[in-house]
Structure 1
């Protein structure tokens, strides 16, 4: 049995959903289908989830919200009409939306219930469409599927007891089961969403739960590329990746896959294939546990901006017991998680996502670090970008760091920091965000041309 997940671009319109129907029909082993909410039909278009977030925000802040409701209904009506389905589905979507907005039973997780409408509605539409083209299919609510999650609105985590319940779905093998992604239910029946892009997580959870032979993640590219194709023209494709490599690439800006999504599949040892809805015959990129040792050491170069660095310097810092703990405690008190923490004997840098560091939090952190840790110097440097060179066995390969630093130097970009730590899979370089494209282009020449 295969689990196939279709992303936002794959379900953005009736035309795309017809392609999805053909893909499912062409392989009877695709028994479990997980869907996202409709994404963009073209570059300037909107994603349904974005409109739902605006709807929820305006409703909760007692602002006019009817325009958002109309936009959502119009989009789903267009899809339903294009698939020649009954208008009864629209009435069901309207009812679901009204319940999420006004029901007293939906209190703590009201925003989550609103955000989940996109995936839930699309799953109902697709199941109806599959039946209309002769495929016996059924919509399955995540609660009925056994997707039990923690009580963390907007950041739910799957609970271990879910997998045994999900396994029982195998008994329904006479039908194709269509499951909305992005959300599950707590033990007490409250709807909770995963973090944004969490439909990938649902697909991976279902694949692990039913012990699928393959988890196919359908998107709008033929494969994972060695670098971002908006930075380098026609970059090479990657045919095979390990789970560790893909997780590093996903975290560091590869938007093909949610960076948490592979964990359930990895633990369940389920192979994953990234494929293109618009070109389903392309082999795609396989994600596996291990690769043969004769494959290239560096498989990809990922990049992302929007970082800042908290730099703390103090003479004899290395002799001061508890210094690092106290610094991280200050960050924890402000509700800030860190990404990297390269350090020396007298100084320490903590890399943070800029979006998490508001001006108020920045002032609080600087004030507390000065008062509690008495550093010689403390600064925050914004506008940083991170470049990750990714590949299994980096530490076993001579000269990777030298080639990388030479390439960045050739791009006339200054390296702000380097961090490899204990990772055998990635090497991180921090640079000023303005030089990211030049650095990536030079690195691509060195490692792939």
Structure 2
């Protein structure tokens, strides 16, 4: 049996939902279906989850929220009417929203409850439509499915005891439709995963029921070697390993949430990335191990919006606990770091820019000066990271030289290079303004020229 997860673009309107149901109908081994909240119908549209967040923020700030509520109801009404489903379904969704708004719970729990309504409503609609088309289908709430999570609103983690409960879903009749993105704590609090967490739910369900295949349907035909908004018509990737996909997802590939594959990976379940609009195409397979290592570089991922915290102190390497103390200062300010390349007297910490406010930035710098007494401390913004990804890179001669030559030919200055901390990737730090020419030059070297 298979688990099929459908992203926001796949359930954005009635037309897309009909495609979803046709895909399920063509292969009834797709017993478990996980859905996202309705996504964008067109470029400037608003995702349902964003509408629900706007609704919650307006309600909590005691400003006008009725207009957003009406917008949400109209969006669901349009889908339900176009699918000719009973309007009682819309009333059920409305009552769920009102119950979440007026619940007597802390604000973070109220927001999680509201954010979950997009996925929850999608699942109810898809299940109802499958039933209308004479398929046996059941909506199953994550609580009833057995998705037990940690009590971390907006950042839930699956608990090990979930998987035994999830396995029991195999015994249920018909097609099981489960909303993505949220679960319940041991004491029955609704808690969401981090944004994009419907992918996590799909992987959790696949691991729990021990599926033969986890299919992730989205709006692209496959995973591409580079971002297609930077390089026109880049080559497709036919097969990836879990480790390669994890690196690519983390470093800017938008196909998967970067935590999504971990449950499937632990169970050795293969993953197929496919297009709801072209389901006949093979897509990209993510597997545990590849046999073909002739071309070790499979993709080039990139992301911007990073800052570099640079600290220098003579004989830093002899000062016991220096790195720990530095990271504790960041921890005290609720700042997580991405990478920390270091030298004998130098330490750089790569941090997402969005974690800094001017006040927090000044406080961190001041604490480092007062508590660690460095020779130099600075914080630079506007950094972009590029990941060259592929199994076997550590044992392939010339990868770093090719990458450096490509960046030099594009007149891009390398501010940081990190090779060795991962056996499947090589990281470069550059100015964000140089990102597009850097990617195009790297793509030409690794994918348009003959690889050695």
> 1: CA distance between counterparts of 2:261 and 2:11?
22
Aligned to 1:59: 59
Conservation of the 8 A alpha-carbon contact between 2:214 and 2:269 = yes
1:111-122 matches, within 5 Å, as: 111-122=111-122
- Runs of 4+ residues over 6 Å off in structure 1: none
Task: Tell me the SS of whatever aligns to 1:248.
Answer: helix
Report SS of the residue matched to 1:428.
strand
Whether 2:339 is the aligned partner of 1:332: answer no
Whole-Å Cα distance in 1 between the matches of residues 187 and 61 of structure 2?
27
The equivalent of 1:147 in structure 2 is 147
Aligned Cα root-mean-square deviation (Å)? 0.9
> Partners of 1:444 and 1:354 in 2: how far apart?
27
* Residue matched to 1:200: 199
> Structure 2 matches for 1:333-348, cutoff 5 A?
333-348=332-347
Report if aligned partners of 2:184, 2:191 keep a CA contact under 8 Å in 1. Answer: yes
| 1:217 match | 216
How far 1:58 sits from its partner (Å)?
Answer: 1.2
Cα deviation, residue 175, structure 1: 0.8
**Structure 2: how far apart are the matches of 1:331 and 1:322?**
15
1:296, CA displacement in angstroms?
Answer: 1.2
In the superposition, the TM-score normalised over structure 2's length comes to 0.98
Deviation readout 1:387-436 (Å, 9 max, x if unpaired): 00000011100000000011011111111100123210110000000010
1:365 aligns with 2:356: no
In 2, Cα distance between equivalents of 1:379 and 1:103: 46
The answer for the alignment partner of 1:14 in structure 2 is: 14
Corresponding position of 1:238: 237
User: Aligned pair 1:257/2:228, yes or no?
Assistant: no
CA contact (8 A) 2:217 2:276 kept: yes
Encode CA deviations 1:351-393: one digit per residue, 9 max, x unaligned. 0000111111111110000001111110001011000000001
Match of 2:183? Answer: 184
1:278 and 2:293 aligned: no
Partner residue in 1 for 2:246: 247
User: Aligned partners of 1:209, 1:93: CA distance in 2, in Å?
Assistant: 28
Residue 437 to residue 156, structure 1, CA distance change in 2 (3 Å): same
Q: Which residue of 2 aligns with 1:294?
A: 293
What SS is found at the alignment partner of 2:415? strand
Matched with 2:414 is 415
Indicate yes or no: 2:296 matched with 1:304.
no
Stretches of structure 1 that go unaligned for 5 or more consecutive residues are none
Corresponding residue number in structure 2 for 1:90:
90
What TM-score do the two structures reach when normalised by structure 1?
Answer: 0.99
User: Per the alignment, do residues 218 and 207 of structure 1 end up closer, same or farther by CA in structure 2, a change over 3 Å counting?
Assistant: same
Per the alignment, residue 157 of structure 2 pairs with 157
Q: Counterpart in 1 of 2:382?
A: 383
Cα distance between partner residues in 1 of 2:392 and 2:331: 33
Cα deviation, 1:2-55, whole Å, max 9, x if unaligned, reads 000000001001000010010000001000000000000111111000011111
